């Protein structure tokens, strides 16, 4: 269409051009007259230009990258402010509700299929702040120094971590049900299950130790381990949680399986849990040729190999086993004596070489790669610390809202961009954006 329009404007006949390109004469005549090649759907006009929508998409991606993703209502409110500030022609009901309509949002998402509505995983401020370049860089420096000093290879680099499983389902699998049914149920063993802690350990070469189980009870009985993966050991604590004494027991279990020597020391990666600072356990490890390296605080969600690639599949498979058990034994309540039997197939499916190797490789632990994480991974910490180029804070006088994104995106258009929108709102009114963009600097009123 654009080529035909250009030919007509250069002097060619509209009739001959329309025939040449297989276009209707009236259609080509209308496009030549308006100078617009894009088709128009009847009386409906797009609110934003293509470049403006690209700016909105870029803004959504930038906010999501720093864990401040916008909800449907927040984005519709932003679209309304953007359209109003740019004096665009938008539907009248946008003024009534102070936000864009659902039909506009649906059309926007269909035009930009790289954007979709997702359920985010909650990330604490401590984790967002903790995963910063300085702390992560220090860990890589220590890792490189220790691997070089003790000649560590993939078979002598281990990670140990704990996770909890329950005797009742926490996240039931999806089931087929009738459309329109308001509530879909599934039988669970109990309203609240009993916690059992699993201590898992693997190395960068893909080898796993048998699991070590911690049951919530006072006295350990061997039949609690009936049906467990071969080599599994267990103990008990009053609440099923780990402790310094349990960590010492596990360290004996670890040394017995790995058998480190002065010539071939073992490097063990741990998180900063209080139980891992138990002096007798640390002393025992040191005397038995186990070198311990702690991960940076609040970084385990991205850097701990067991968290990255093993425990996710383990819990998924365990939930399936629990669900299958409930269907096979109607009315029976799962108790602690069933846990090991249910864990065994789940552990054997998830404790595979591929998962372990991927768990060490993805965060750059083995092979050691201090460039495994890019700027986008450190951006949330920089935003919270106020050192980022991406300014998503607000400066407020009588609740004046400001939304900023990096200047390169702001300069792509001569009209006010989403990154520079300002809207005056009375202090007694509530704007959904004000909750997601807390003000860093507020001038006294």
Closest CA to 397 of 434, 428, 427: 427
% of residues, the chain, pLDDT over 70 = 84
Kindly tell me if the per-residue pLDDT of 242 is higher than 90: yes
Once rounded to an integer, what is the mean pLDDT over residues 155-165?
Answer: 97
State how far the Cα of 240 lies from the Cα of 213, in Å rounded to an integer.
9
Query: Burial code of 259-270, b = ≥16 C-beta within 10 A, e = fewer?
Result: ebeeeebbbbbb
Together in a domain, 198 and 336: yes
Q: Is-contact 359 211, C-beta < 8 A?
A: no
Same domain, 295 and 326: yes
Domain count, the chain: 3
One-character DSSP codes across 6-58: HHHHTT--HHHHHHHHT--HHHHHHHHHHT--S---TT---SS-HHHHHHHHH
Q: 366: which DSSP letter?
A: T
Confidence of residue 56 (pLDDT cuts 50, 70, 90): very high
Query: CATH number, domain at 288?
Result: 3.30.420.10
Write the CB contacts of 318 (distance below 8 Å, at least 6 apart in sequence).
165, 342, 343, 346
Say yes or no: 261 and 352 in one domain.
Answer: yes
Mean pLDDT, rounded, of the chain: 84
| Residue 200 is assigned to a structural domain of this protein | yes
66 and 129, same domain (yes or no):
no
213 and 359 part of one domain: yes
Question: What digits encode the pLDDT tens for the residues 199-208?
Answer: 999 999 999 9
Q: Are residues 8 and 60 in the same domain?
A: no
Residue pair 317/346 in contact by the 8 Å Cβ criterion: yes
Q: Give the pTM.
A: 0.67
Highest mean pLDDT among 167-181, 189-203, 413-427: 189-203
In a shared domain, residues 71 and 138: no
For residues 387-392, average pLDDT? 65
What sections of 131-288 are H helices per DSSP? 133-149, 244-258, 279-287
Burial class of 416 by CB neighbour count within 10 A (0 to 12, 13 to 18, 19+): middle
State residue 168's pLDDT score: 83
Domain that holds residue 28: 1-34
């Amino acid at each position: 269409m654009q080529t035909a329009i250009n030919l007509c404007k250069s002097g060619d006949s509209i009739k001959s051009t329309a025939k040449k390109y297989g276009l209707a004469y009236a259609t080509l005549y209308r496009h030549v007259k308006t100078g617009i090649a894009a088709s128009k759907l009847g009386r409906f006009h797009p609110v934003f230009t293509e470049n403006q929508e690209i700016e909105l998409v870029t803004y959504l991606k930038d906010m999501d990258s720093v864990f401040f993703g916008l909800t449907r209502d927040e984005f519709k409110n932003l679209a309304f402010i953007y359209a109003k500030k740019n004096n665009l022609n938008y539907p009248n009901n946008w003024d009534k509700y102070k936000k864009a309509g659902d039909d506009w949002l649906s059309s926007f998402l269909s035009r930009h299929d790289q954007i979709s509505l997702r359920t985010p995983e909650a990330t604490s401020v401590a984790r967002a702040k903790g995963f910063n370049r300085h702390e992560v860089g220090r860990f890589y420096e220590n890792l490189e120094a220790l691997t070089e000093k003790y000649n560590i290879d993939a078979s002598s680099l281990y990670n140990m971590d704990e996770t909890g499983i329950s005797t009742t389902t926490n996240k039931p699998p999806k089931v087929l049900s009738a459309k329109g049914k308001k509530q879909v149920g599934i039988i669970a063993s109990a309203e609240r299950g009993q916690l059992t802690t699993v201590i898992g350990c693997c190395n960068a070469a893909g080898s796993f130790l048998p699991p070590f189980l911690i049951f919530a009870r006072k006295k350990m009985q061997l039949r609690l381990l009936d049906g467990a993966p071969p080599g599994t050991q267990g103990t008990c604590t009053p609440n099923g949680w780990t402790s310094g004494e349990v960590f010492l027991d596990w360290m004996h279990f670890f040394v017995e399986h790995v058998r480190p020597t002065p010539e071939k020391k073992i490097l063990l990666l741990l998180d900063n849990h209080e139980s891992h600072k138990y002096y007798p356990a640390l002393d025992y490890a040191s005397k038995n040729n186990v070198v311990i390296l702690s991960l940076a605080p609040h970084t385990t969600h991205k850097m701990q190999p067991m968290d990255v690639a093993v425990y996710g599949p383990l819990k998924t498979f365990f939930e399936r086993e629990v669900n299958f058990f409930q269907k096979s034994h109607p009315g029976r309540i799962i108790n602690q004596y069933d846990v090991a039997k249910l864990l065994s197939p789940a552990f054997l499916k998830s404790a595979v070489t591929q998962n372990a190797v991927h768990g060490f490789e993805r965060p750059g632990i083995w092979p050691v790669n201090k460039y495994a994480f890019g700027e986008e991974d450190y951006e949330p910490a920089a935003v919270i610390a106020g050192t980022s180029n991406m300014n998503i804070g607000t400066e407020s006088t009588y609740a004046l809202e400001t939304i900023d994104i990096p200047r390169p995106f702001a300069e792509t258009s001569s009209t006010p961009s989403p990154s520079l929108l300002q809207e005056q709102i009375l202090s007694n009114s509530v704007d959904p954006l004000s909750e997601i963009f807390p003000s860093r600097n507020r001038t006294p009123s």
